[in-house]
Structure 1
Amino acid sequence: MAAHWEHVHGWEDQQIKSEDTDDEENAPLESASDSDDEQDVVVDSESDRSDRTSDDDYPGSSSPDGSGPVTPPPATRKRKKPSAVSPEETDSSATGWKTTDEPDVLPQRLSRFCPARKPGVQIFTCTDNPTPSQLFKTFFDEKTVKIICDNTNKQTRRNIEKGKKFKWHDITSVEFYKFLGLLFYMNILKLPAIFLYWRQKSIFSVASPASVMSRNLFESISWNIHLSDPDEDAANDKKKGTPEYDSLHKIRPLYDQLRNTCKAFYHPRQNISIDERKVAIKDKNGNRECLKKKLTDSGIKLFALADSSNGYTSDFTVYTGSSRLTSGHGISYNSVMALIDRSYLGCGYHLYCDNFYTSPKLFKDLISMNVYACGTYKHAMKGTPTTRVNALTRKSKRGTIRWIRNGQLLFTKWMDTKEVNLCSTIHTAYSGETTKKRAKGSDGKSRGVNIPIPNTVRDYNKHRGGVDLSEQLTQYYSVHKRSRNWYMTFFRHFLDIAATNSYIIYKELCQMRSCESVTHLRFMETLCAELCGWRADKTSTSLAKPSELYRSPSTVDPPSPLPNLDPSPACYPVAINPSASGSNKASEGRLMCVKCRKKTAWKCENCALPLCLILDRNCYKEWHRSFASEVALDDV
């Protein structure tokens, strides 16, 4: 009997060993973390025991000698089989991460860039000279402003019927444009409170707003402005809790019109980017949420599509909650697919995004639309390589590159100050590019060194910031202000988008005509003046006149010649310390130059001011020329 049990247990051990060997041969390479977490599972079922033994080993309920029942064998253990993986993923990770010594080629050629329209400005030609107000009114046109005025007048009458007391008359489109002009004015010239813009008989008085409209009218419009029809709002509120309810109904007219206008008047170039924005609100709206690593940590989220070359906002959507998502792939997938409209864009575009959006599922679906993508990704992202064979470590040298290709997907790891992970359907792994970084040498001193950089990292850094550039331009002269009504905050944000896109279109027109564009500040000042009814050629010399907006470099006025001055006594350069001698002759007694703030051994004998006088820096001449110009202007 003992020999029989040894025969049984020996056969089982051999069977278990063979199964383990088969599992190890068929299983794909796993990461160290996955192998450490794997545990054996106990298998104790009739089906397993019947698979492992035959009827000859267990002839019945009695022992081989017929003395009694056979005691069942102890429960056996086997390793849990790994989950099934796709053949492509197994092939790509079987050999581990590759180095730059191994060549990489795209499995198929990228589609040719075929935009639906010629990229650039669509509404104006290179012979047109639109003013800032004309550019702005392409986004806030007369029809849209008329709808806002009608809804505002209707809402104001309702408020008066409820007992609110303030002076009011139905506003017109002209008055509404002046109201918008004052909003931009208050953003350029900031004061602590609204009433201070109408303060009189004070050394801090501001005369311009009072000449446009009264303070009472300005405040009344601010209190009662309404974008949608109040009657339709009441009907929509009754649908709350049903699928027919529209949470964006109060901004819907302007929201839809502005999106269509942004897409109609400009077509983006090949490189585009998608990112989120946040509109800060005080109102308790159901769409409000927190967003980390943003200037605005709480508010309503927007997803924006922008041209990476100039920051033009081509399209945007407002996030209204996960309950409205129908694809089942999450908010990041749906937000990208909602903004990538092939009928509007065309094919061959290159999209850049961060790790919130990047996923192999999204990138593969974009390829089917002939749109290619590149972005950072997270280690735990489903579908990304998990093998640790030949991967980067903490001791990897700065500039080390590793890559794996899985079909059209290229996964790249690059060691900078920390590990950088990118996924791309656009690039190959490495083409010999280098970048200059600061690094410490063996002597402990920091110096610039050239290190290899993957193609994905190079282009990602170049084209990723389209939405960030748009947001940066918006923040310079933003009319944003938190309000108790969330739709009023959105109204101000839409003004920022319209004004920023207007300035970008203006710069594009100047580039088409090889003209010198005015600064962003001067553009906004001119826009404010034109909306308020001030004329740039009569009100202020700081505003851009129509003839100055599109002035070619060849027509720029030459600097006026200096007047023929006869200074007495004469100005001559002399040494600060003429008694210096020896090796310290050029440095002893040096003072800081009043022009460039650098050390100099020269000064003006008449003015007694230290001024540089060397081959590559003649501060002495520049300072006296500017001084002579100021004297001439004072005489005039």
Structure 2
Amino acid sequence: MYTPSQYLSLDESLLLWKGRLSWRQCIRTKAARLGIKSFERCEAETGYLLQYRLYTGKNTAMYPGPLHGFNDKTAKVVLQLMEGYLDTGHVLVMDNWYNQLLLTRYLKSRCTDVLGTISRRRKGIPHAIKDLNPKQLERGVSVGRHCGDIALVAWKDVKLVTVLSTYHQHEMVPGRRAGQAVLKPTVVQEYNRYMGGVDLKDQKLSMFLLERKRNRKWYMKVFKRLLNTSLLNAFIIYLRNPIYRMYSHRQFRLKVAEGLLSRYPRVSRCHPEYRINCNGLFFVWNRGITSLFIRKLIRGREFKKNRKQLRCVRCTALKKRVVVTVMCKLCQVPLCLGKCWEDYHTVENL
């Protein structure tokens, strides 16, 4: 149905959930801050959701055994999310939680470029970058190291940022920060452009929340989130067609709802009818008109006055003790709503 562009963004998303759940996470950089975490791979420019994995605790194995020779859980998350998209020339953009040098070399061998930040404490980082002291560096200074196709660039802005790329060199391009002209590395500029695919998807969904705050079951909220995301994906596919760009996001959702209602209208339920006898008066009975003959007993004087008659007549005949608060207006007999009511008015020999 949809072929994504070259740049793919991999990040975690947080679904707001304040109830009790053993794998509930707290991520202060997200809008929800507290909820159910999921690993997602989206198209970087549109936010189209391509792959989804729900986080269910650190002891939950995302994949039993090694995956492509990797036993690290983080690497297995990345490789699982990239299933079906390796060897196709995509560029995977991810942050320092996922990036590591061995994984980057493997993805590069599978015709998949990698772009993203990386922690200087990772294994294999050269000492020229690992031993940098941010306090001794002036703003705008950059240090680069290369090994084959992999380039590591450390750039001092407000903080020291280390970026990894498999298709860039140590090049500087003009940019602007706070209205002033600055020079920044090309890898930093492209990382800022293509990293926000998952956050873009969450931002678009925040205006149309199908998942409400009062869901008591977490899995129903996850289901509604996926349903909401599928509507967003359908809207992105709709925008790809240059002929039919007529509706906004809100109008598109209304048209989808109208189309579903016209295609699957509500069918009136037909119930079997019975000819009943109430004190010599014959009526055609079904569930639609049952309420016409129901009398609800009010708790109080009437309840105390008729307390000996509050046992269901049909259940009493079956040697069951069931106390009810309704009776037939015509028969003046307490009955359970449902089968007892139906049997009393239709069965000849009770």
> TM-score, normalised to structure 1's length?
0.38
Aligned twin of 1:450:
181
What do the CA deviations read for 1:572-606 (whole angstroms, capped 9, x no partner)?
xxxxxxxxxxxxxxxxxxxxxxxxxxxxxxxxxxx
> Residues 368, 329 of structure 1: CA spacing in aligned structure 2 closer, same or farther, 3 A cutoff?
same
Please say if residues 205 and 228 of structure 2, whose CA atoms lie closer than 8 Å, have aligned partners that are also in contact.
yes
Aligned twin of 2:249:
520
Q: Does structure 1 residue 531 correspond to structure 2 residue 260?
A: yes
Question: How many angstroms apart in 2 are the aligned matches of 1:413 and 1:527?
Answer: 48
1:392 CA drift (Å): 6.4
Question: How many angstroms apart in 2 are the aligned matches of 1:393 and 1:287?
Answer: 36
| Matching residue within 39, 43, 56 for 1:320 | 56
Q: Does structure 1 residue 352 correspond to structure 2 residue 93?
A: yes
What do the CA deviations read for 1:418-466 (whole angstroms, capped 9, x no partner)?
2211111121111x4210223xxxxxxxxx4422221211110111111
Q: Does structure 1 residue 425 correspond to structure 2 residue 166?
A: yes
1:300 alignment partner, SS class: strand
1:404 alignment partner, SS class: strand
Aligned twin of 2:176:
436
Match runs of 1:235-634 below 5 Å: 265-281=1-17, 284-323=20-59, 324-325=61-62, 326-327=65-66, 329-341=71-83, 343-344=84-85, 346-387=87-128, 391=132, 393-394=134-135, 396-430=137-171, 432-438=172-178, 448-482=179-213, 483-510=215-242, 513=243, 516-533=245-262
1:376 CA drift (Å): 0.8
Structure 2: any 5+ residue segments left out of the alignment? 264-350
What do the CA deviations read for 1:537-590 (whole angstroms, capped 9, x no partner)?
xxxxxxxxxxxxxxxxxxxxxxxxxxxxxxxxxxxxxxxxxxxxxxxxxxxxxx
Please say if residues 129 and 154 of structure 2, whose CA atoms lie closer than 8 Å, have aligned partners that are also in contact.
no
Instruction: State the AA in 2 paired with 1:373.
Output: V
Please say if residues 403 and 429 of structure 1, whose CA atoms lie closer than 8 Å, have aligned partners that are also in contact.
yes
1:507 CA drift (Å): 0.9
State which structure, 1 or 2, has the greater radius of gyration over its C-alpha atoms: 1
Structure 1: any 5+ residue segments left out of the alignment? 1-264, 439-447, 535-636
Please say if residues 86 and 112 of structure 2, whose CA atoms lie closer than 8 Å, have aligned partners that are also in contact.
no
Question: How many angstroms apart in 1 are the aligned matches of 2:108 and 2:129?
Answer: 28
Question: How many angstroms apart in 2 are the aligned matches of 1:522 and 1:484?
Answer: 30
1:519 CA drift (Å): 1.8
Question: How many angstroms apart in 1 are the aligned matches of 2:57 and 2:129?
Answer: 38
1:363 CA drift (Å): 0.7
Question: How many angstroms apart in 2 are the aligned matches of 1:334 and 1:465?
Answer: 22
More helix by share: 1
More strand by share: 2
Please say if residues 120 and 130 of structure 2, whose CA atoms lie closer than 8 Å, have aligned partners that are also in contact.
no
Please say if residues 398 and 451 of structure 1, whose CA atoms lie closer than 8 Å, have aligned partners that are also in contact.
no
> Residues 329, 429 of structure 1: CA spacing in aligned structure 2 closer, same or farther, 3 A cutoff?
farther
Question: How many angstroms apart in 2 are the aligned matches of 1:504 and 1:355?
Answer: 29
2:135 alignment partner, SS class: coil
1:388 CA drift (Å): 6.2
1:268 CA drift (Å): 1.1
Question: How many angstroms apart in 1 are the aligned matches of 2:194 and 2:80?
Answer: 21
1:501 alignment partner, SS class: helix
1:492 alignment partner, SS class: helix
1:294 CA drift (Å): 1.6
Please say if residues 139 and 156 of structure 2, whose CA atoms lie closer than 8 Å, have aligned partners that are also in contact.
yes
What do the CA deviations read for 1:71-121 (whole angstroms, capped 9, x no partner)?
xxxxxxxxxxxxxxxxxxxxxxxxxxxxxxxxxxxxxxxxxxxxxxxxxxx
Question: How many angstroms apart in 1 are the aligned matches of 2:30 and 2:176?
Answer: 29
Instruction: State the AA in 2 paired with 1:281.
Output: W
Instruction: State the AA in 2 paired with 1:426.
Output: Y
Match runs of 1:205-216 below 5 Å: none
What do the CA deviations read for 1:300-333 (whole angstroms, capped 9, x no partner)?
2211111112111111111233331533643321
> Residues 385, 524 of structure 1: CA spacing in aligned structure 2 closer, same or farther, 3 A cutoff?
same
Question: How many angstroms apart in 2 are the aligned matches of 1:276 and 1:429?
Answer: 29
1:472 CA drift (Å): 1.0
Question: How many angstroms apart in 2 are the aligned matches of 1:500 and 1:358?
Answer: 28
Aligned twin of 2:317:
none
Question: How many angstroms apart in 2 are the aligned matches of 1:476 and 1:377?
Answer: 33
1:286 CA drift (Å): 4.2
Instruction: State the AA in 2 paired with 1:526.
Output: K
Question: How many angstroms apart in 1 are the aligned matches of 2:250 and 2:143?
Answer: 46
Question: How many angstroms apart in 2 are the aligned matches of 1:282 and 1:399?
Answer: 42
1:414 alignment partner, SS class: strand
Structure with more contact order per residue of length (Cα contacts < 8 Å, sep ≥ 6): 1
> Residues 393, 304 of structure 1: CA spacing in aligned structure 2 closer, same or farther, 3 A cutoff?
closer
Instruction: State the AA in 2 paired with 1:273.
Output: S
> Residues 268, 366 of structure 1: CA spacing in aligned structure 2 closer, same or farther, 3 A cutoff?
same
What do the CA deviations read for 1:2-61 (whole angstroms, capped 9, x no partner)?
xxxxxxxxxxxxxxxxxxxxxxxxxxxxxxxxxxxxxxxxxxxxxxxxxxxxxxxxxxxx
1:349 CA drift (Å): 1.0
How high is the sequence identity, in percent, across the aligned residues?
27
Match runs of 1:105-116 below 5 Å: none
1:363 alignment partner, SS class: helix
Please say if residues 282 and 485 of structure 1, whose CA atoms lie closer than 8 Å, have aligned partners that are also in contact.
no
1:295 CA drift (Å): 1.9
1:374 alignment partner, SS class: strand
1:345 CA drift (Å): 5.3
Instruction: State the AA in 2 paired with 1:495.
Output: L
Match runs of 1:88-107 below 5 Å: none
2:241 alignment partner, SS class: helix
Please say if residues 392 and 413 of structure 1, whose CA atoms lie closer than 8 Å, have aligned partners that are also in contact.
no
Instruction: State the AA in 1 paired with 2:253.
Output: M
Question: How many angstroms apart in 2 are the aligned matches of 1:308 and 1:407?
Answer: 26
> TM-score, normalised to structure 2's length?
0.66
Question: How many angstroms apart in 1 are the aligned matches of 2:224 and 2:30?
Answer: 19
Question: How many angstroms apart in 2 are the aligned matches of 1:459 and 1:301?
Answer: 26
Please say if residues 392 and 402 of structure 1, whose CA atoms lie closer than 8 Å, have aligned partners that are also in contact.
no
RMSD: 2.5
